[in-house]
A and B are shown apart, each in its own frame.
Chain A
C-alpha cells in the first residue's frame, strides 16, 4: 500500500467513525400516551369532579393537535377494551375501532384485555391497525414482542410487557395455555437485540408504577417507561436511574405528553406532563365522535333489548329482610358458574325488582348496578357460620344474605351474635371444621359490610401458584374480575328464556 493509499484509507475510516457518532442535531421526539382507558369513551363526571371529564373524541382531537407540533408517537399502555358498558357490550370491538381512528402507534396488552377470553382477544388483535405488544406473553397468536418506528429522524424501539400476575387477575380459562414471564428478564433479553438498532428504547408497560420503578432501577438501557395498571396520576415524569417513567391516570381523563431530545443513544433533555381532557374547553375529533356516538346508539338499543322473560315478579324489595326469589336467582347463578357448594351475596347488591314479563338488559343492569364479580373461596364451617350470623343479625340492612345451597334458621329477636340456630349445607348440618367452597362477590370477599370472617379465610391458605397460567391452591379457587355479575345474569336469562325462581325456605325464622 502506498503512503497516499494509506492516508486515503485513514480518511475514509475517519469519516465513517465521525458519521457513526452522529454529531448532528439532537433528534426531537414527542411521546403521547394514555393507559387504563377501560372503554370510558364518553365524557363522564367522576365523584368529586365539578364538570365532565374524559371523552375519547376530545382526547383524539388533542392528540392530533399535539402530533402536528412535532414528530410524535401515540401509545396505549393497556387495559383498554374492558370496563365500561360502552366496551363490554361489544366485547371491546368498539374500543379497537376507536383506537384505529385515533391512529395510535402501539398498544401493550393489559390483564383486562384477556377478560373476554383468548378467542375474542385474538379477534380484537386482528381488527387493530396497530401492533399489539406483549414480549413476556408466551403462546398468544398475533402479538409482537417489540416494534421499531421511525419518528421524525429518530428510530424508536418500543417493547411491551405486562404484569406476570395476569393469571391471578382473570378467569383461569382466559389464560389457559399461556405463560407470563418475568418482565425484567424478558426486557434484559429484548434490549440486547434492539438497543443497537434504535436511537431510543421505550418500554410500554402494564406492570404498575411500583414495578416500573423496580424495572428502571434494575434494567439498564431503557430510556422511557410508559406505564399503566396502577392507575397512577404522574403529573410530571419521574426519573429513576437513567430511565424516565410516565403514566397518565385512568379512564381517559388525562393524556400524557413527553417531549424528549436524544442524541448518541442518550436523552439530552425532557419535559412532560398530563393534559386534562375537559370537553368544555375544545372541540371533538369528528371521526372519533362518530364512532363513540354509533356505539352509544347501539348500546341504547341493546339495553332495550328483551333478553328473556320473568315468569314471576323478581323481588328486589325485600332482599334486606328475608329470602327472596331474586336473591335466590342471583345466589344460584354464582354457585352455578363457579361450581361452589354454597353461595352468598349481600342483599344490598340487588337494588330493584324486575316485574313479571319481558326482561330487558337495562332492567337487569339497573337491578344489579354494581361492578361486582364472582369470587369463590375455601372457608371452614366455623367461618361460614360466623359470616351467616353476621349477615342475619343485620336484618334490614344491605348485609342481610341471600343464599344458595344452604338452609338457615335464625331468630331475629335473639341475642346479637347468637341469632343463628341452624345451618344446613344441602341436607347435612354444617360441620364447623369442614372446608366448604363458598361463592360470593368481590365486595364481600374483600370484607365489605363487615364480613370479616371472609377476610380471615385468607389465613387458611393464601399461597397461589401460577402453573402455566392456571391457578392452583390458595383460599380462592375461582375469580372472574372481568365479568360483572349483571352480565352473567343477563347471559343466564338469555340462555334459559324464562326464569321463575321461587321461595324455597332457605332462610327461615324460628325463635325458642
Chain B
C-alpha cells in the first residue's frame, strides 16, 4: 500500500503500521516528542493501522534523522 507522510510517498506491506512509515523515511519513532496527525488533524499512535492512500503529518519536535549506522538498533 502507498501512504503519505508530509506529502512524501511511502510504500508499505499490508498490515504495516504508522511506525513502519516512519522507519522507511529514516525517522526515529522511538525518540522525541513526535506527534503524528491524520488528514483530519487527529493524533494517531505509532501502532495505528494504515490503509492505502492514508496521509500522515508530523508535528512537534523534529525527530532525529537516522544515521546509516543506526546507533539505536
Instruction: Give chain A's interface residues, CB within 8 Å of chain B.
Output: 36, 38, 47-48, 83, 111, 163, 165, 168-170, 208-211, 229-235, 238, 249-251, 346, 348-349, 370, 375, 377, 394, 396-399, 442-443, 445-450, 455, 458, 462, 464, 474-476, 479, 481
Contact = CB atoms under 8 A, between A and B. Distances in A.
Given A47-B30, A397-B69, A250 B48 contact: yes
B66 to A, nearest CB: 7
B45 to A, nearest CB: 3
Contacts of B15: 165, 168-170, 479, 481
B50 to A, nearest CB: 8
Given A36-B45, A208-B49, A446-B12, A48 B33 contact: yes
Contacts of B34: 47-48
Contacts of A83: 47
Interface of A is mostly: loop
B58 interface: no
A229 B49 contact: yes
Contacts of A238: 40
Interface in B16-37: 16, 18, 20-21, 23-24, 26, 30-35
A489 to B, nearest CB: 17
B3 to A, nearest CB: 11
Contact of B69 (A232, A249, A396, A446): A396
Nearest to A395: B69
B38 A210 contact: yes
A375 B46 CA distance: 19
A394 B69 contact: yes
Interface of B is mostly: loop
Contacts of B71: 397-398
B43 interface: yes
B73 A443 contact: yes
A475 B45 contact: no
A399 B70 contact: yes
Contacts of A169: 14-15, 49
A205 B55 CA distance: 21
A394 B12 contact: no
20 contacts: A48-B34, A48-B35, A165-B14, A169-B14, A229-B49, A230-B38, A231-B48, A251-B45, A394-B69, A397-B67, A398-B71, A446-B16, A447-B24, A448-B23, A449-B68, A450-B70, A475-B13, A476-B13, A476-B14, A481-B15
A304 B68 CA distance: 36
B48 A232 contact: yes
Which of A111, A210, A377 counts the most chain B CB atoms within 10 A?
A210
Nearest to B47: A231
Contact of B73 (A235, A249, A448, A464): A448
A48 B35 CA distance: 9
Given A397-B70, A446-B16, A449-B70, A210 B54 contact: yes
A214 to B, nearest CB: 10
Contacts of B70: 346, 348, 397-399, 448-450
A295 B72 CA distance: 31
A442 B20 contact: yes
A93 to B, nearest CB: 22
Contact of B13 (A48, A251, A375): A375
A232 B42 contact: yes
Given A442-B16, A449-B66, A475-B13, A346 B73 contact: yes
